[in-house]
């Protein structure tokens, strides 16, 4: 159920260590309509979703490995071949343990995997635009996100290599800021390439509007929800902590000094919210709302967002990893639903960005205060 319009935010008394900022896990005038759903779902005169017109019937056997009848056969072939070759080379790197010249194999594998998944998403978008009888005619949000993974990893490896040459810690605040910034740029770039440039969605249809006084109002409105959402998250995390006594590690651990803390704030409360909201709310939620309706689209977008943030969890044993994943996933569901609801309610990407930024910022500040307090762990 979409949460009702809440009233005055409640104060949260404490924030357990189990709650982390929602930052990457690797990494027209504003129309303040009371409901953005009507702008997202094309309707017929009868009020039902209007299927696209003049769309050819789906070709039988369209899911098979064949180029017959495909609108973009070259992209289809490049997508599959590069993906398979890239995945194979990455697997070889993993099995080799990174020894010898395996690093070169990893670079080539990531590059091929990036090309393959991007080409595959482009091919899928063209096929859907030509043949699909759905309101949203573009690549699947799942596939677009999958295409960001090898590109992000490849860029992160390059950033790490450069920082190592310069003698900068690859696990420090600067490295995390650069990694988060690169991921946000990749999100924006691939949405532009695969969704906007192909005509699947316009920026305005994804709630991305000019930054003006209306955008500031949306940012402030979103930020007002941060404290009540944190309060709900604390309760969920506390209950899960009783059932699964594990201690999640924040993707942006406290720096313990001012410059590092400023970099963490910039990464977690500015850069990450912009990139993630564009991908998960602006693009993914809009696409799914058009095809599934408001409630189903919002829920799928929220669950997808929460799932993505636990993909790279690691631990000492399988039970520990599963426990960390369950806690991390469930603790992010409340804020994920709130972000989607705000996006649909306000019809602007700036509202969820405001909530996302305030949510992350408050938790980062509380974490920094905790480690700087006497006995907090850092001098």
pLDDT tens-place string over residues 56-77:
444 433 455 677 777 778 888 9
Q: Per the domain annotation, does 351 fall within a domain?
A: yes
What is the predicted pLDDT for the residue at 246? 81
pLDDT tens-place string over residues 128-179:
888 777 789 999 999 999 999 999 999 998 999 899 999 988 888 999 999 9
Q: Please check whether residues 155 and 260 belong to one and the same domain.
A: no
Question: Which two structure tokens, joined as six digits, stand for 270?
Answer: 């500015």
What is the predicted pLDDT for the residue at 62? 41
Band of residue 29 on the pLDDT scale cut at 50, 70, 90: very low
126 versus 25: the higher-pLDDT residue is: 126
pTM of the model: 0.81
What is the predicted pLDDT for the residue at 223? 97
pLDDT tens-place string over residues 326-345:
999 999 999 999 999 999 99
Q: Per the domain annotation, does 64 fall within a domain?
A: no
What is the predicted pLDDT for the residue at 64? 59
> Could you tell me if 361 and 269 are in contact, meaning their C-beta atoms sit under 8 angstroms apart?
yes
Question: Which two structure tokens, joined as six digits, stand for 97?
Answer: 């343990």
How many CA atoms are closer than 13 Å to the CA of 86, on its beta-carbon side? Answer: 23
Q: Please check whether residues 216 and 328 belong to one and the same domain.
A: yes
Q: Please check whether residues 188 and 222 belong to one and the same domain.
A: no
> Could you tell me if 15 and 366 are in contact, meaning their C-beta atoms sit under 8 angstroms apart?
yes
Q: Please check whether residues 22 and 81 belong to one and the same domain.
A: no
Q: Please check whether residues 270 and 157 belong to one and the same domain.
A: no
pLDDT tens-place string over residues 261-291:
999 999 999 999 999 999 999 999 999 999 9
What is the predicted pLDDT for the residue at 377? 54
Q: Per the domain annotation, does 337 fall within a domain?
A: yes
- State percent of the chain over pLDDT 90: 56
Mean pLDDT of 33-43: 44
Q: Please check whether residues 259 and 347 belong to one and the same domain.
A: yes
Q: Per the domain annotation, does 47 fall within a domain?
A: no
Annotate the chain with three-state secondary structure. Answer: CCCCCCCCCCCCCCCCCCCCCCCCCCCCCCCCCCCCHHHHCCECCCCCECCCCCCCCCCCCCCCCCCCCCCCHHHHHHHHHHHHHHHHHHHHHHHHCCCCCHHHHHHHHHHHHHHHHHHHHHHHHHHHHHHCCCCCCCCCHHHHHHHHHHHHHHHHHHHHHHHHHHCCCCCCHHHHHHHHHHHHHHHHHHHHHHHHCCCCCCCHHHCCCCCCHHHHHHHHHHHHCHHHHHHHHHHHHHHHHHHCCCCCCCCCCCCCCHHHHHHHHHHHHHHHHHHHHHHHHHHHHHHHHHHHCHHHHHHHHHHHHHHHCCCCCCCCCHHHHHHHHHHHHHHHHHHHHHHHHHHHHHCCCHHHHHHHHHHHHHHHHHHHHHHHCCCCCCC
Q: Please check whether residues 337 and 219 belong to one and the same domain.
A: yes
Q: Please check whether residues 247 and 307 belong to one and the same domain.
A: yes
What is the predicted pLDDT for the residue at 188? 97
Q: Per the domain annotation, does 60 fall within a domain?
A: no
- End position of a domain, from candidates 171, 200, 229: 200
- End position of a domain, from candidates 200, 220, 244: 200
- CB neighbours (10 Å) of residue 2? 14
Q: Per the domain annotation, does 59 fall within a domain?
A: no
Q: Please check whether residues 168 and 142 belong to one and the same domain.
A: yes
Handedness of CA 161, 321, 288, 118 (dihedral sign): positive
> Could you tell me if 56 and 130 are in contact, meaning their C-beta atoms sit under 8 angstroms apart?
yes
CA distances to 36, 183, 191, 217, 223 from 279, rounded to whole Å, are: 18, 11, 7, 22, 19
Q: Please check whether residues 269 and 352 belong to one and the same domain.
A: yes
> Could you tell me if 24 and 183 are in contact, meaning their C-beta atoms sit under 8 angstroms apart?
yes
Band of residue 363 on the pLDDT scale cut at 50, 70, 90: very high
Q: Please check whether residues 186 and 268 belong to one and the same domain.
A: no
- State percent of the chain over pLDDT 70: 81
Range of the domain at 28: 1-42+210-379
Q: Please check whether residues 152 and 298 belong to one and the same domain.
A: no
Q: Tokens 């669950």 appear where?
A: 303
Q: Per the domain annotation, does 234 fall within a domain?
A: yes
What is the predicted pLDDT for the residue at 316? 79
Mean pLDDT of 216-228: 96
Q: How many domains does the chain contain in total? A: 2
What is the predicted pLDDT for the residue at 43? 46
CA 105, chain centre distance (Å): 28
Q: Per the domain annotation, does 57 fall within a domain?
A: no
């Amino acid at each position: 159920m979409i949460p009702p319009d809440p009233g005055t935010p409640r104060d949260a008394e404490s924030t357990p260590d189990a709650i982390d900022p929602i930052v990457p896990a690797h990494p027209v005038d504003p129309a303040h309509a009371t409901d953005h759903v009507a702008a997202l779902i094309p309707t017929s005169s009868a009020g039902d979703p209007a299927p696209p017109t003049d769309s050819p019937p789906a070709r039988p056997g369209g899911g098979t490995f064949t180029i017959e009848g495909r609108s973009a056969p070259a992209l289809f072939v490049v997508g599959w071949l590069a993906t398979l070759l890239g995945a194979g080379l990455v697997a070889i790197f993993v099995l080799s343990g990174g020894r010898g010249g395996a690093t070169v194999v990893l670079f080539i594998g990531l590059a091929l995997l990036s090309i393959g998944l991007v080409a595959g998403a482009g091919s899928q978008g063209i096929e859907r635009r030509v043949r699909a009888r759905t309101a949203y005619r573009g690549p699947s949000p799942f596939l677009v996100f999958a295409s960001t993974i090898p590109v992000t990893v490849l860029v992160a490896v390059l950033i790490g290599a450069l920082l190592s040459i310069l003698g900068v810690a690859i696990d420090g605040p600067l490295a995390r800021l650069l990694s988060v910034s690169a991921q946000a740029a990749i999100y924006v770039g691939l949405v532009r390439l695969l969704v906007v440039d192909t005509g699947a969605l316009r920026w305005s249809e994804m709630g991305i509007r000019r930054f003006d006084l209306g955008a500031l109002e949306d940012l402030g409105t979103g930020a007002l929800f941060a404290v009540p959402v944190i309060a709900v998250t604390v309760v969920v995390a506390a209950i899960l902590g009783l059932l699964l006594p594990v201690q999640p590690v924040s993707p942006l651990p406290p720096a313990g000094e001012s410059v590092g803390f400023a970099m963490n704030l910039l990464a977690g409360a500015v850069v990450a919210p912009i990139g993630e909201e564009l991908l998960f709310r602006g693009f993914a939620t809009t696409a799914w709302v058009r095809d599934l309706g408001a409630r189903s689209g919002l829920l799928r977008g929220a669950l997808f967002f929460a799932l993505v943030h636990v993909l790279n969890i690691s631990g000492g044993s399988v039970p520990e990893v599963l426990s960390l994943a369950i806690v991390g996933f469930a603790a992010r569901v409340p804020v994920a639903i709130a972000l989607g609801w705000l996006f649909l309610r306000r019809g602007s990407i700036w509202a969820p960005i405001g909530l996302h930024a305030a949510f992350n910022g408050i938790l980062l500040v509380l974490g920094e205060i905790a480690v700087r307090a006497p006995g907090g762990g850092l001098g």
